[in-house]
Structure 1
Amino acid sequence: MGRMPPAKRPASPGPFTPLDFQLVLLRRMADHNPDLVEDARHALGVSVAQMREANRRWQAMRHAPRSRGAVSRYRSILGEAESVTPRRIGDLSCEAFLWPVPLWPDLRFEVLVAPGGVAWNEWLVRAPGAAGPGMRTLEDLTPWSCTVDEAARAFAPARPLEGTAPTRWGLAFTAPDGAGVRRDCVAEFAWGLLQRVTVAGP
Structure 2
Amino acid sequence: MVPVPSARTPGSPSGPSGPFTPLDFQLVLLRRMADHNPGPVEDARHELGVSLARMREANKRWQATVRSPRSRPARSRYRSVLGEPESRARRRIGDLDCEASRWRLPLWPDLRFEILTAPDGTVWNEWLVRAPDAGPPVLRTVEDLTPWSCTVGEAARAFAPARPLEGTAPTRWGLALVAPDVRGVRHEVVAEFTWGLLQRTAPGPRTGAGGPPPG
TM range (shorter): over 0.9
* Counterpart residue number, 2:69: 65
* Counterpart residue number, 1:97: 101
Q: Deviations over 1:126-183 (max 9, x none)?
A: 0112101010000100000000000000000111110011200000111101110111
* Counterpart residue number, 2:34: 30
Query: 1: distance between equivalents of 2:44 and 2:151?
Result: 18
* Counterpart residue number, 1:156: 160
TM-score if structure 1 supplies the norm length?
A: 0.92
* Counterpart residue number, 1:4: none
Q: Which runs of 5+ in 2 are unaligned?
A: 1-14, 209-215
Q: Deviations over 1:4-27 (max 9, x none)?
A: xxxxxxx97111000000000000
8 Å contact from structure 2 (residues 24, 58) kept in 1: yes
Work out which of the residue numbers 27, 47, 51 in structure 1 matches 2:51: 47
Query: 2: distance between equivalents of 1:12 and 1:164?
Result: 28
Query: 1: distance between equivalents of 2:110 and 2:74?
Result: 23
Query: 2: distance between equivalents of 1:125 and 1:137?
Result: 21
Q: Which runs of 5+ in 1 are unaligned?
A: 1-10
Query: 1: distance between equivalents of 2:97 and 2:62?
Result: 28
* Counterpart residue number, 1:7: none
Q: Percent identity?
A: 73
Q: Secondary structure at the match of 2:62?
A: helix
Query: 1: distance between equivalents of 2:131 and 2:65?
Result: 27
Query: 2: distance between equivalents of 1:115 and 1:91?
Result: 13
Q: Secondary structure at the match of 1:131?
A: coil
Is the radius of gyration larger for structure 1 or structure 2?
1
The residue type paired with residue 119 of structure 1 is V
**1:1-202, aligned counterparts within 5 Å?**
13-200=17-204, 201=207
Query: 2: distance between equivalents of 1:71 and 1:164?
Result: 23
Displacement over 4 Å in runs of 4+: none
RMSD (Å) for aligned C-alpha atoms? 1.2
The residue type paired with residue 122 of structure 1 is E
